[in-house]
Structure 1
Amino acid sequence: MRGFRRMRSSLRLAALAAILLAPSLHAAAPPPPALTPEQTRYLDQQIDDAFTRYHLPGLAVGVIEGGTVVYTRTLGERVAGSGERIDADTLFKIASNSKAMTTALLGRLVDQGKLRWDDKVTRYLPDFRMYDPWVTREMQVGDLLTHSSGLPEGGGDLMLWPEPNDFTRADIVHALRYLKPAYSFRSKYQYDNLLYVVAGELAAAAGGAPYDALMRREVFAPLGLSRCQVGAWDRDEVGNVAEPHGYIGGRNQVIRADDATVPATTSDPAGGIRCSLNDMLAWARNWLAPTPAQLQWLSPAQRAVLQAPHMLIPVSALRRQWDRSHVMAYGYGWRMADVDGHWTVWHTGTLAGMYSELMLVPDRRSGFVLLTNGNGDEARTVLGEVLLKRLTDPADTRGVAGYAALLDEAAAKAASGRKAPPLPDSAAMPPADPKALAGRLGVYRDPWLGPAAVCVRDGAVRFQAKRSPRLAGVVVQEHGRYLVRWDDRTVDPDAWLDFHDGTPVRLTLAKLDPHGDFSSDYEDLDFVREGGCD
């Protein structure tokens, strides 16, 4: 009952916010003045600096002020060295910025009377089970969206990435019952992706059509997002597609290139949509300066629900220092925080070789979009901060160079604070001795990732997850401990293999770098040996 009261209270607040916001959503405002030559030169300089400093293959940036696009800039290539230039219609993976599109789809279904935010998930997905039966019974539609379900951070993400793999959305729904909670239901924020996949399946069940068909019909078409892609599509027919890159050996190289037919992915509702800069600017303007038609597309009441704080997020020291933030929260597919006295609503997206950011400053009807097809984590942090300061603190002129130095300083301080020994080099480790692993070689099974083999192939001990082809590598050793060094070096980090002798033998995994990507959730695996190698 406490959860229901909490949800009902959130909905009351959101409804009140909708009433208060409705006049401003309809109010006309004069267009902002065009950027001065000096302002344009400043933006050009900062974008050039970030592009060069962080060795990006391609970059697209757009700025909105007062509800109007006042600046766009594209640099670089869709494929490094190809001469195929990035432009405002080039498709990028927007990664987790897909989540807000999924929640907008759900909001559409609420407006249409096809579901309620406080409906139980099992009403639409009878096979849905969490590890705790009570949580299963109490989980509401809104709970899928706030990263407070009890799942560990990134729990189960190995069923989504690395792609391609053989896991379906039905597999995701079924596997949740095996993922042990890391905290109490609705008690804290821990980012997850699986429940957004569940949300996509729930939308399909309530909307009576597959997720990708609903997204195209209910979101892309009404908003004119003509280049956005979801589900399966033809790369060459659509054209103008940026490929992801890694900065390897001192140059940008394509990683995980698209085939001619881009398949639908299990992760689409959580992070699989692709859009262009023009699409993302149109999407942003729908939130900042909606037209009467757009307010019919999604009501002010549902807009307020989506962008209302539903779960608090701890404010980092860096955010307090840089942005003078006091509160941070998660809505439905959106993050939000106060920055320099302004309320901001935003999200980022991160996939291997693709980074994005969409920032809104609603009270100013302003924001920006940033898309890159390179490993641009630091570039996004630094350039995003510079673009944000133009809207919240124009007197801040530290620029890319200044914030890059601050970020480097913060990283160095964090590293020294951990006082951890340097990570061992997996490339220098000798291969595992098959004889030393006698009795441990064999086929193992994890309840949610499925089978994996630790067997001798071509004279070397290898680890291979059956349903995820990229989770494959040679087993090496250091001081009696074993580690799998992934064949695909874009899969990161490598994983320790810890055997637990008994009947049967168990196998657990851990990150070589404990601070590695949380989506490499090796720690949630618990393999049991089923038999010997073929």
Structure 2
Amino acid sequence: MKRVLASSLCLLAFGAQAQSSSWQRTVDDTVARYKLPGIAVGVVEDGKVVYATTRGETLAGSGQKLTSKSLFKIASNSKAMTASVLARLVDQGKLRWDDPVTKHLPQFAMFDPWVTKNMQVRDLLVHNSGLPEGGGDLMLWPEPNTFTRGDIIAGLKYIKPAYSFRSGYAYDNLLYVVAGEVAAAAGGAPYETLVQREVFDPLGMTRCKVGAFDRDAVGDVAQPHTRGENMQYKPGDNVDGTQVPAITSAAAGGIRCSLDDMLRWMQAWLAPDAQAKAWLSDAQRKEMWKARTPMPISGRRVKWDHTHALAYAYGFRLADVDGRWTVSHTGTLSGMYSAMVLLPDQRSGFVFMINADADDTRTVLSEVLTKQFTKPDADTTIAPYADEIEAEWKQAEADAKPHTKPDGKREVLAAPFDPKRTGTWRDPWFGTVRLCPVNGRLQWASEKSPLMTGHVVTVDGQWRIDWDEDRMDLEAWVDFESGHMRMRKVDPEGDFSSDFEDLDFTRTGDCSP
């Protein structure tokens, strides 16, 4: 009997060691394939942390190694924390999910007055408002800018809907900012204070930060990286200064956490201890994970994961993967990517954070780590998925439409400049821009978003903005018609947060000295 028990324990230990080796190999292969500057990865299995590792540096070349306490921007993984603040306030009787938004923010208004009247707190979280995808995101990014949360609430009524209220899905960020302000109004404290009070403190997430902080006093802060020449990573233009400012977009994507903290966050959902159980009622946990808005399912998801259902909940995405229920989200900011995937029925899941632009990396690593739970006997590796995505990119380049192929003849727009086009122009939600001569060139400059400054060039005779800042990686065409100035992305498949198409400027005056 003792020999049988000993053999069983040995088998269990061998299985755990083999699984750990599998995760280790996956991380090693990912770092090698994509030449990442840094990554933090953690795995929870049956409620327990069974694997955690960090690779690389907080800033390439700095010599400061990443640790499990290094802070990463978790970007849109912040949304679930914002939703949790609201859920806590519901538990406390300070608001209801079906409260009209105007009950807490009387100044709130959407383009359609009927939508304004009928939009409830829950609607702020589930991307079915009618706003176009990424609508108004130019008030959030690029950072820093001077748009306030009040500007966002005031600007929403000027953004034209792309579809009927509650009739479809289009990802937005502005309404999460509004949700943070609803929480502040109901909770009687600024959003940043509420997140600390309602999430970080009760769950023991001691390193997470939201709002302003001193980088050097906090220490061990991962910095963003972007692709440079020869596809090598370099520090991004948005590396933190000594004083990290509070940002308007915090409720949509402005929280920073360490790997240790994110593992605590996962366990609070997968296997809550007494403290975590007391943190949020069972009723609100169920509310948080109810499917609210159906989402489109890509061909890749069908092929790779056999997914039949995909929906947005309160700050989480729900999907079936290989017959298993998953709860997940991703985070994307310039130079920072993250992903968290939970498998509640197995009380298991994983999280990782990368301090680099890493879209393909995230897709591949998420897939392989998920398969280790949904198909543990398949010996899934990085290479086949990475090869497939690389082949897709090459095919897309070969099939690119003419307007996304390399530029035609590009020339600096020369004087004299058309006085009907120069001057100050105003969009009702984005504010004023100047289109005026500066040092012999025609400059386009935003009043509230200083990084959005560039010069007019022509490409085959068409006006185009050549941005001064590299982080403005999507250039825009400029069109004039019937007294209006409109804009559109040069690459129509570019990031939706560069929502130039939602702008509609009218001329307000001449260029001043």
The equivalent residue for 1:225 is 205
Match of 1:286 among 242, 249, 268: 268
* Aligned match for 1:455, one of 436, 456, 475: 436
- Secondary structure class of the residue paired with 1:437: coil
Q: Does the residue aligned with 2:412 lie in a helix, a strand or coil?
A: coil
Query: What 5-or-longer segments of structure 1 have no aligned partner?
Result: 1-31
Alignment of 1:87-486 (within 5 A): 87-250=67-230, 251-255=232-236, 256-413=238-395, 419-420=401-402, 422-425=404-407, 429-486=410-467
Q: Is the 8 A contact 2:466 2:475 kept in 1?
A: yes
Q: Distance in 1 between matches of 2:441 and 2:253?
A: 36
Q: Which residue of 2 aligns with 1:508?
A: 486
- Tell me how far apart the structure 2 counterparts of residues 533 and 420 of structure 1 sit (CA, whole Å): 35
Identical aligned residues as a percent: 53
Task: Kindly provide the CA deviation profile for residues 89-111 of structure 1, in whole angstroms up to 9, marking residues without a partner as x.
Answer: 00000000000000000000000
- In structure 2, the residue matched to 1:26 is none
SS at match of 2:507: strand
Q: CA deviation at 1:415?
A: 5.4
Q: Which amino acid aligns with 2:323?
A: G
What is the number of residues matched between the two proteins?
A: 499
The 8 Å contact of residues 455 and 462 in structure 1, kept in 2 or not, is answered as: yes
Alpha-carbon distance in 1 for matches of 2:44, 2:113: 47
Instruction: Output the CA distance in 1 between the equivalents of 2:302 and 2:392.
Output: 13
**Contact 1:423–1:512 (8 Å) recurs in 2:** no
Q: In structure 2, how many angstroms separate the alpha carbons of the residues matched to 1:396 and 1:489?
A: 43
> Residue 140 of structure 2 contacts residue 249 of structure 2 at CA under 8 Å; is this kept in 1?
yes
Is the 8 Å Cα contact of residues 423 and 513 (structure 1) preserved in structure 2? Answer: no
**Following TM superposition, by how much is the alpha carbon of 1:439 offset from its aligned partner in structure 2, in angstroms?**
2.3
- With over 3 angstroms needed to count, the CA separation of the structure-2 counterparts of 1:422 and 1:113, relative to structure 1, is closer
- Output the CA distance in 2 between the equivalents of 1:73 and 1:408: 27
Match of 2:38 in 1: 58
3-state SS in 2 of match to 1:434: coil
Contact 1:124 1:202 in 2 (8 A): yes
CA distance in 2, matches of 1:407, 1:170: 41
Give the C-alpha shift of residue 125 in structure 1: 0.1
Closer, same or farther in 2 for the Cα pair 1:175/1:421, shift >3 Å?
closer
Name the CA shift for 1:422/1:266 in 2 (closer, same or farther; >3 Å): closer
1:436 Cα deviation from its structure 2 partner: 4.7
- Preserved CA contact (<8 Å) 2:97 2:122: yes
How far apart, in 2, do the equivalents of 1:321 and 1:412 lie? 20
1:498 to 479, 484, 505: 479
Aligned AA (2:439): D
TM-superposed CA distance for 1:392, in Å, is 0.7
How much has 1:38 moved relative to structure 2? 3.2
119-128 vs 487-496, greater mean Cα deviation: 487-496
Aligned-residue Cα RMSD (Å) equals 1.5
Aligned-residue offset at 1:42: 2.6
The answer (yes or no) to whether the contact 1:492–1:516 under 8 Å persists in 2 is no
| In structure 1, C-alpha distance between the alignment counterparts of 2:15 and 2:211, rounded to whole Å | 38
1:27 alignment partner in structure 2: none
- CA offsets per residue over residues 443-489 of structure 1, 9 Å max, x none? 11000010001111111111111100111112110122110011111
Q: Secondary structure at the match of 1:303?
A: helix
Q: Does 1:531 align with 2:512?
A: no
**What secondary structure is seen at the aligned counterpart in 1 of 2:29?**
helix
Q: Deviations over 1:405-454 (max 9, x none)?
A: 1222344455566655543348x621112325342111110000100011
The letter of the residue matching 2:454 is G
Partner amino acid, structure 1, of 2:162: A
Matching residue of 1:86? 66
- Give per-residue Cα distances to partners, 1:70-92, cap 9 Å, x unaligned: 11111011010111101100000
Alignment of 1:66-85 (within 5 A): 66-85=46-65
Aligned to 2:3: none
Q: Distance in 1 between matches of 2:269 and 2:61?
A: 37
Indicate the SS of the match to 2:97. Answer: coil
Scaled by the length of structure 2, the TM-score of the pair is: 0.95
Counterpart-to-counterpart distance in 2, 1:481 and 1:100:
43
CA contact (8 A) 2:371 2:380 kept: no
In the alignment, the residues of structure 1 paired with residue 377 and residue 402 of structure 2 have an alpha-carbon distance, to the nearest angstrom, of: 39
Q: CA deviation at 1:399?
A: 1.1
Shift of residue 36 of structure 1? 3.6
Task: Work out whether residues 35 and 70 of structure 1, in 8 Å CA contact, stay in contact via their aligned partners in 2.
Answer: no
TM-score, length-scaled by structure 1: 0.91
Question: Contact 1:492–1:520 (CA<8 Å) still a contact in 2?
Answer: no
Residues 508, 526 of structure 1: 8 Å contact kept: yes
1:16 alignment partner in structure 2? none
